[in-house]
Chain A
Amino acid sequence: MDFIEILFTAGFWAATLRIATPLIFGTLGELVCERAGVLNLGIEGIMTMGAMSGWMWVYMGGDLVSGILFAAFIGMLFGLLHSLFAVYLGLSQHVAGIGITMLASSLSYFVFRMLLPTATTPPKIDPFQSYPIPGLSDLPYVGTPLFTQTPMTYGAFVVVLVVWYVLYSTPVGLAVRMTGENPIAAEAQGIDVLAVRTGAVVVGSGLMSVGGAFLTMSAFDAFYFGMVNGRGWICVALVIFASWNPGKALLGALLFAGIDAWQVRVQQLPGINIPYQFFLMAPYVLSIVAMIVMSRRALYPKALLVPFRRGERT
C-alpha cells in the first residue's frame, strides 16, 4: 500500500465523510450568519457547548434524537446572546464572538464538572450506530463508504440542500442575503433588518451546536475537554474558502476531511521516516494554500461586519 492506494480504500472514504460531518454543520451555520452580515466567532464555544449538552442530555436519560434537538436549542440560546451584542447593540462582532467562545467553552466544562464531579474516566453513552441504507449500501465500491454512515452524517447532507434551497429560493433567504449585502436597502424595502439578522444568527448557531453534538453522540461516545479542538475556526476559514456558497462549503469540508483522513493513514505506512507532526500539519497547510487560491475571487457579503443601527445618519 502506498500514498495513492489509500485513496481507493473504503475505509478512507468512510472516514472522510465522518470527519467532514461536524465541519459541514459548523460551516453551514457560520455561512448562514455571515450571509446576514454577522460574523460569529462564537462558533468554537458553541460547538463545545453542543458537544457537552447533547451528550449530557442522553447521559441523563434522554434519547439521542431529542439530545440533538436539545443541543441545537442550547446553541440557539448562545446565538441569541451573540445577536444581542452584535446585532441589537451593534458592538464589534469580533469581540462579541470571541467572548461567546470563551464563555460557552468554559461554561461547558464547568457544567460538566458540576454535574459529574467524581468522574475520573469520562463516562460513556450509547451513541448513534451506523445505519446502512437498504439497497444503496449493497452497491459495489460506494455502498460501504457512502451509505453505511450514522444518521447525523446523512443529516449533514440534507442540511446542505435545505440551506441552499432556503437561501436561494425562498423570500426569507432573499431577505437574509439582502441584509448581508445592503441592510439599508433591505430596510427601505420594509424588511426588519435586526430581526432577520437575529434569526440567521440563531439558526446558524443551532447548526454549529449540532455539529459539536456529532462529536460526542456519533463519532465518539464521551465528552472530553478540548475535544472540539479548533474545528470551529476551520469552519470560519471554510466559509471564506467556499465564497459563502453552501455547495462549495460542502466541497471544502470534504476536501479538508479527506486530507485529514489520508494523513492519518499515511502515518501508519511502514518505512515512513518523516516526523508525524508534518502529517498532522498537512490539512492545515493545504487549507491555507486552497484558501489563497480560492478566496481571491471570493464575493464576500458587502455588509459583513457592518453593524446596522436604525435611524442613524449615514
Chain B
Amino acid sequence: MTAILKLVNISKRFGSLTANDAISLSLEEGEILALLGENGAGKTTLMNILFGHYTADEGHVEVFGKPLPPGQPDAALAAGIGMVHQHFSLADNLSVLENIMLGTESLWAWRQDTAFATGRIKQLSRDFGLTVDPMAQVSTLTVGERQRVEILKALYRDARILILDEPTAVLTPQESESLFETLRSLVDRGMSIIFISHKLNEIVSVSDRVMVIRRGKVVAEQPIRGADRASLAEAMVGHTVHAPKGDVLAPGDVVFQLQNVSAGAADGGQPLVDVDLAIHQHEIVGIAGVSGNGQQTLADLISGLCRPGSGSMTLFGNKLAHYNPDVMVKSGVGRIPEDRNRVGVIGEMTVQENLISEKRRRLPFSKFGFMNAKVIEDHAARQIDAFDVRCQGPHAETRLLSGGNVQKLILARVLDAEPSLLLADQPSRGLDVGAVAYVHEKILDARARGCGVLLISEDLEELMALSDRIVVIYHGRLSQPVNPEDITARDIGLMMSGQSEAA
C-alpha cells in the first residue's frame, strides 16, 4: 500500500478563526478514509483546499507523488481528484448531460460530441448502478439522483480519488444504503475515497480508517476495525455526551388549542383537515409523520403565517383576532423553523441583527425609532457567550456560520424571549451529536420552565426520547395522542404510513 494523496501541514485562517491548524493526512490506494468531526470543525475547509477552491496559508498537497498547484480546481481535476460537494454543485436549469460535459471538452471546439458523452454516461451508469437519464433536466431529479449525477461527473473525468462531503445529509436511509454499495464497488475497482461525515454509524459501516478533526486539529486517527464508538464520539465532541432526559412534570393549563380546525396550505402543500390538538404547560407534544403530510401547515398556523379556514384556534385561552407572525411573537410564541437558513435567519445580515430581529422595535433595543447600537451589541455578546454560538463576534455575517451555530443563534433569539409556547420544527436536522444534545437540553429547559412545546420531527428516536405525548400526522389529519412509553417505534411507523390507527 502506498499513499497516493498527501496533505502536509495544512493551515488556513479566515480572519481570526483558524479553520485548519497544521493538518496532515495521507490517503492510500483503494481505501475509504473517513473524516469525522462536528459541524464547523474544519473538514470541509480542508477538502476545499485540496480541491483548489481555497488556497492554504501554509502547507502543501501531493498527488501521486507530485505537488499539486494550490488554488486551481482544474489542476485538481486533471490530477484525478473528484469532489461531491455537500450542497450539490449542479445547474438546475441545465440537463444532466450538460452538467457532466461542462469543462471536459476544449472551450473552443465548434461543436459538442453529445452522442459520445451520452454513450459514456450510460455505460458508467450501468457499470456502477448509478441510474439516471442523461437528458433529464436537473431540477426534475430527486436528491438521490442529483447525487448520482455528482458521482458520475467525477467518474466521467476518470477520477481516481473521490471526496464526498456529508453525502448522506440529504438522503433517506435507503438512498444512503445504495450509496454505500456504490462506494464499495468503486473501491473494488481501485478508487480511493475520502468520506466526510459527522455520523458515527455510517462511518463505522463504510470506511476502512477514520481520522477525527476537532476545532481545526487532528485529534485521533485509527483503523475502523476495533475502533470504539464511544471514544470516537468523545474525541469528536471533546467531552462525554449524555443524552438529556426530561423530569416527570405534571401538565399545567392549556396554552394552545385547535378544535375542528381546517386550514389550507400556502404553495399547494397538504392542508389540515378537521384537526384537534391541545398543548399544555410543561408538556412536549411530538408530531410524527412522513414529510409533506401537513406538518408545514401546522407549523405555519403556530407561526402566524396562515390562518385557520374553519374551527377555533386559541392561544393561552384567547381567540386571536389577527394572524400574523408579529402578533404570535408578541403573544409569547417562540418559533424554531424547519429551514433554518432560508426562514430562520437572514444570512447577509450580522449575528447581532438576527438576534434582535423579532424585538427590534422594543425597548431597550430601539427608542423613538432609533436602534441602540451599544445595547444591541452587548446583548449579542452575552447571547453568543450563553449559547456558545461559534462566530467571529456580534458583527459576523450570519451566512458564514455552520448549521449547528445557526441553530444555536435561533435558540438564543427564541429562548431569550421566554416563550410560553414553543414550536420546534425539525430542530436537530443535520446537526452533529454535540449540537443535538444541546438543542434537546434547551427544549427540555423550556418545558421545565412551564413552556408548552410542539415538536415536529421525522426522527422517531428524537420524538420518543423527548415527547410526553406523540400525535401522528397523515394526509392532514391527526391521530389520537399516544404515550411514547406505551408504543413502539414500529407501531408509530405503521401509523405514519396510514396503515393503522391508534387504539
Give chain A's interface residues, CB within 8 Å of chain B. 169-172, 174-175, 177-178, 181-182, 184-192, 299, 301-302, 310-311, 313-314
Contact = CB atoms under 8 A, between A and B. Distances in A.
A303 to B, nearest CB: 9
A177 B94 contact: yes
A313 B392 CA distance: 14
A260 B457 CA distance: 59
Interface of B: 14, 51, 53-55, 71, 73-74, 77-78, 83, 85, 88-94, 98-99, 101-112, 153, 399-400
Contacts of B89: 182, 184-185, 188
Given A181-B92, A181-B93, A302-B92, A175 B153 contact: no
Contact of B71 (A170, A182, A186, A311): A311
A130 to B, nearest CB: 33
A175 B112 contact: no
Contacts of A311: 53-55, 71
B81 to A, nearest CB: 11
Nearest to A199: B107
A311 B54 CA distance: 5
B112 A170 contact: yes
7 contacts: A171-B106, A172-B108, A174-B102, A182-B91, A185-B90, A190-B78, A314-B399
Instruction: Report, nearest first, the 5 A-B pairs whose CB atoms are least far apart.
Output: A190-B74, A185-B89, A181-B91, A189-B103, A182-B91
A178 B91 contact: yes
A214 B367 CA distance: 59
A189 B112 contact: no
Contacts of A188: 51, 53, 73, 83, 85, 89
Contacts of B101: 171, 174
Q: Is the interface of B mostly helix, strand, loop or mixed?
A: loop
Nearest to A173: B112
Contacts of B107: 171-172, 175
A256 B101 CA distance: 37
B102 A186 contact: yes
A275 to B, nearest CB: 45
Contact of A181 (B94, B103, B110): B94
Nearest to B108: A172
Nearest to B153: A189
Contacts of B93: 181, 299, 301-302
B90 A169 contact: no
Contacts of A302: 91-93
A187 B77 CA distance: 11
Contacts of B106: 171
Nearest to B88: A185
Contacts of B105: 171
Nearest to A314: B399
A186 B98 CA distance: 11
Nearest to A171: B105
B112 A174 contact: yes
A185 B14 contact: no
B94 A190 contact: no
Given A189-B77, A189-B153, A313-B400, A177 B111 contact: no
Contact of B98 (A174, A191, A314): A174
A189 B78 CA distance: 10
Contact of A169 (B53, B77, B103, B112): B112
A171 B90 contact: no
Contacts of B98: 174, 177-178
